[in-house]
Structure 1
Amino acid sequence: MIRCMLLKPDKSFTYGDHTLIELWQKNPSYQIWIDFDGHQQDQEKALLKELGCHSLAITDAQRERHPPKIELFDNYIFMLYRGIYHPGDDLVFDHLQISMFVGTNIVITSHRKTSMSIDKLFSEEGQKYLLKSPITLALRIFHYSCGIYLQKLFEFEEKLEAIEDKFQFGGDDKMMQEITLYQSRLTKLKRTFNYHSNIGSELKILVTDETPIINQADLHTVTDVHERIERLLSLSQMHYDICSDLVNGYLSVTSHQLNATMRVLTVITAIFIPLGFLAGLYGMNFEYIPELKVANGYFYLLGFMSFISISLVLLFKKKRWL
């Protein structure tokens, strides 16, 4: 599906399909937003080439998976980032690769599935940004996607605080399995936000270079987007560190409990080793063992064994091993 938003010099907007592209081509003063939503790749590629997009950028845009990036071409700024198709709970995201070609009077967005940010701004809300400039609209689409990530991280922060409070009363293997799962998801998010942070840095450089597509007038919008990305990166890192601390704390407590158990078992073993030695000594089948002829030898041996046991228990208590 191809949908278009056309802005005329009198600040009126027209919505329609690909037929608006021909009208835009005939009127250089018009501005247009072209959105490819799950369109056939061959037709999309042909139309993008007709609109002057670079073949390498088109190839990257149509790949099923590609790291987020930004490139400056002669007539366009090409941006590729990971938007959101559907945000779930517990940091589960259905990511969506979104490509944007931004020129002086055109914005082209391409995505294989429905994009929440594009659907949100393909309305009156997006008109005010297209009125300012195509790059402002593109940055606001990116900004809105980051906002969805941010909202979900705030929701996760509340859940993480609840896990911390619960952990104070004792963790278990199920809780650690859950936290480890969150660690894995946060690692993936950090990787995505790192890519996006690079895009924000490159945008600042382009503002400094004063290209026709983006200049100092767009600095505030670029800064706003970059700060939001950096906040996402710092939040995901903070949540990851908290999860790591919880896991390390649980492992430390478990190790301490294991050490305490092993200490008790070691003490018991130390007590019974001399007793087993004495029992084994007098249980040997030699014909002549002098002590066996003692009338009360059995009771003497039990008394001696009791003495050894009590002495060892007292010694271990003094050493604070019990």
Structure 2
Amino acid sequence: IIEIHDYSNTHLDITKIDSIEQCKPYVNTANPTWIQVKGLHDIEFLKQLWDEFDFHPLIQEDILNTTQRPKIEDYGEQIFMVLKMLYIEDNVLQQEQVSIVFTEKFIFSFQESERKIFLPIKERLAIENTRMRKGGPDYMSYALMDNIIDYYFAVLEDLNEEIENIEEDLWSGEDSNALSSIHRIRRQLLQFRKSIWPLRDSINSLIRDESPLVKDETKLFLRDVSDHTIQIADSLDNNREMVSSLHDMHQTNISNKMNEVMKVLTIIATIFIPLTFIAGIYGMNFEYMPELSWQYSYPIAWFVMILVTIGMVTYFKKKNWM
């Protein structure tokens, strides 16, 4: 699916196309034009599009390679961005590569799926006399990037909530699945960090560069995005420390439960030591044992063993061992 958004302060034309011929009228347009491509499966169509707009060969290669690290590269007349769109689905952190290319007049965005990730941008673009409509391709590229970063905050909030739930389960003792949840969150935080950490350095590099495609006014907004990436990276580091603490807490809970089991078994074994001793004495096969001929020897033996048991249990409770 390809949507073309040709816009100015007072003009907005949105067109869906299915052939390269329909793109040609926009090649010489004077207005900024955002060309949104959803889906990377039709390679032949993409190559025709790239040839029509003279894409750099390395950019073409990187767009199709969806395992790229986040980065921003300046190719002179084209600036290329690779971002990772993150979202949580069925407790699994999913990612989708989004590539953005902008020139003096055009903005291209390429995404793997047809998810409506840029719906907020389209809603802002529909309003006249806004910075979005007045801005050029550099501002639109910033807005697309900022929109993706906003999704990062939503994912971060979901992860924070899950970490809090795990902590509550550990404190309440309902932690049967805590270990698997902790390992899953740890992997997701690592995956998240790989998506945000390179982007921070790339944005700062773009701000420092003297590219004619990026206006000074837009660089101010890019600094705001850079601050957001730093904030997210710091939050991820804090969350990783919290997850490590939760792992230690879980291990401590397991050790405490094991100690409780060993404590109970030790008390039981200790109680049976004198009982075993008494039973062992009267189980010996000596010929002369006067007690064996007494009429009440059997109930007396039971009475002594019960009395010993009660005495030991009482002693253990006074010592707070039970």
Normalized against structure 2, the TM-score is what?
0.77
Deviations 1:166-203 (A, max 9, x none): 765x23145x44x8437524632542344323213212
The equivalent residue for 1:35 is: 36
> 1:75 & 1:192 partners in 2: Cα distance?
31
Q: How does 1:129-144 map to 2 (within 5 A)?
A: 129=132, 131-144=134-147
Amino acid at match of 2:289: E
The equivalent residue for 1:14 is: 13
> 1:83 & 1:302 partners in 2: Cα distance?
75
Deviations 1:1-57 (A, max 9, x none): 32222346x864433345564344445x54322222226122202321442322232
The equivalent residue for 1:110 is: 110
Aligned-residue sequence identity (percent) comes to 21
Deviations 1:144-166 (A, max 9, x none): 12213323543665576566567
Deviations 1:49-73 (A, max 9, x none): 4423222322221134433233222
Q: Secondary structure at the match of 1:14?
A: strand
Distance 1:196 1:313, change over 3 A: closer
Distance 1:305 1:181, change over 3 A: closer
> 1:196 & 1:246 partners in 2: Cα distance?
24
Higher mean C-alpha deviation, range 143-152 or range 15-24:
15-24
> 1:206 & 1:13 partners in 2: Cα distance?
29
The equivalent residue for 1:269 is: 269
Q: Secondary structure at the match of 1:151?
A: helix
Q: CA deviation at 1:112?
A: 2.7
Task: Please list every run of 5 or more consecutive structure 2 residues that lacks an aligned counterpart in the other structure.
Answer: none
Q: How does 1:80-91 map to 2 (within 5 A)?
A: 80-83=82-85, 87=87
> 1:153 & 1:83 partners in 2: Cα distance?
13
> 2:309 & 2:39 partners in 1: Cα distance?
80
Distance 1:226 1:82, change over 3 A: same
Higher mean C-alpha deviation, range 47-56 or range 246-255:
246-255
Higher mean C-alpha deviation, range 15-24 or range 223-232:
15-24
1:171 and 2:173 correspond: yes
> 1:289 & 1:213 partners in 2: Cα distance?
111
Contact 2:69 2:198 in 1 (8 A): no
Distance 1:313 1:123, change over 3 A: closer
The equivalent residue for 2:219 is: 219
> 2:301 & 2:7 partners in 1: Cα distance?
105
Contact 2:85 2:151 in 1 (8 A): no
Amino acid at match of 1:36: V
> 2:320 & 2:182 partners in 1: Cα distance?
40
Distance 1:207 1:186, change over 3 A: same
Deviations 1:216-261 (A, max 9, x none): 4332211221222233333444445445545543543453244233
Amino acid at match of 1:134: P
The equivalent residue for 1:191 is: 191
Q: How does 1:301-312 map to 2 (within 5 A)?
A: none
> 1:131 & 1:221 partners in 2: Cα distance?
15
1:154 and 2:157 correspond: yes
Q: Secondary structure at the match of 1:148?
A: helix
Task: Please list every run of 5 or more consecutive structure 1 residues that lacks an aligned counterpart in the other structure.
Answer: none
Q: Secondary structure at the match of 1:117?
A: coil
Contact 2:93 2:188 in 1 (8 A): no
> 2:235 & 2:89 partners in 1: Cα distance?
17
> 2:116 & 2:237 partners in 1: Cα distance?
25
Contact 2:3 2:35 in 1 (8 A): yes
Contact 2:101 2:108 in 1 (8 A): yes
> 2:95 & 2:169 partners in 1: Cα distance?
31
Q: CA deviation at 1:139?
A: 1.9
Q: What is the CA RMSD across the aligned residues, in angstroms?
A: 3.8
> 1:233 & 1:274 partners in 2: Cα distance?
63
Higher mean C-alpha deviation, range 298-307 or range 214-223:
298-307
Q: Secondary structure at the match of 2:69?
A: coil
The alignment covers a number of residue pairs equal to: 313
Q: Secondary structure at the match of 2:85?
A: strand
Normalized against structure 1, the TM-score is what?
0.77
Amino acid at match of 2:143: R
Contact 1:83 1:95 in 2 (8 A): yes
